[in-house]
Structure 1
Amino acid sequence: MKLFINCKEARQICDRGQYEEISFMEKLSVKLHRSICSRCVKYSERNAKLTHLLKDSKCKHMTPECKKRIREELERELAKTPE
């Protein structure tokens, strides 16, 4: 792994870093790159914010029963529509 990386490599490492899949050398390379690149600092901040929002979201998945009921209601309404 090289110490000096370009923006594309920094973004890729940053993305993987959100899932804690980077090595010590990659962390060091990204920190060094971010010290000279304000665009990558902003990218990293937005990426971290998005990850945080997704982890803390209150989204819940619909149950299969709920999906089935919605599908049946849609089919009934579509059957009422004249062709």
Structure 2
Amino acid sequence: MKKNFLFISCEEAKHICDKSQYGEATGWERIKLTIRLTWCRVTKAYSKKNSKLSDVIEHAEVDCLKKDERNKLKKQFEEELEKHQ
């Protein structure tokens, strides 16, 4: 059976969607993805959720612990652990 060059599987569409989010998809892959998105609800939902997740991560304001804060917390944890052993 000859593989259709225009219609792609849902799994392949998801992979192309991921590549497209990072600007790694070729023009031809984007065309095939667009065709798939016109009729596949599953791929359309995946693409929408993927875009939303990328936006949330991009605009997240994450404050990480500094190295000295992390060491202090680790030390406190180990002290409490020692008390219960």
Same fold (TM over 0.5): yes
Post-superposition offset of 1:80? 2.1
CA–CA distance in structure 1, aligned partners of residues 48 and 20 of structure 2: 12
Residue of structure 1 equivalent to 2:58: 55
Superposition TM-score, scaled by structure 2 size: 0.87
- Deviation track 1:8-63 (CA, whole Å, cap 9, x = no partner) reads 11000001111111011011000011111111111100010011111111112221
Point out where structure 2 has 5 or more consecutive residues left out of the alignment.
Answer: none
2:27 maps to 1:24: yes
Number of corresponding residues: 81
Which residue number in structure 2 is paired with residue 78 of structure 1? 81
TM-score by length of 1: 0.89
Percent sequence identity over aligned pairs: 28
- Listed as ranges, the gaps of 5+ residues in structure 1 are none
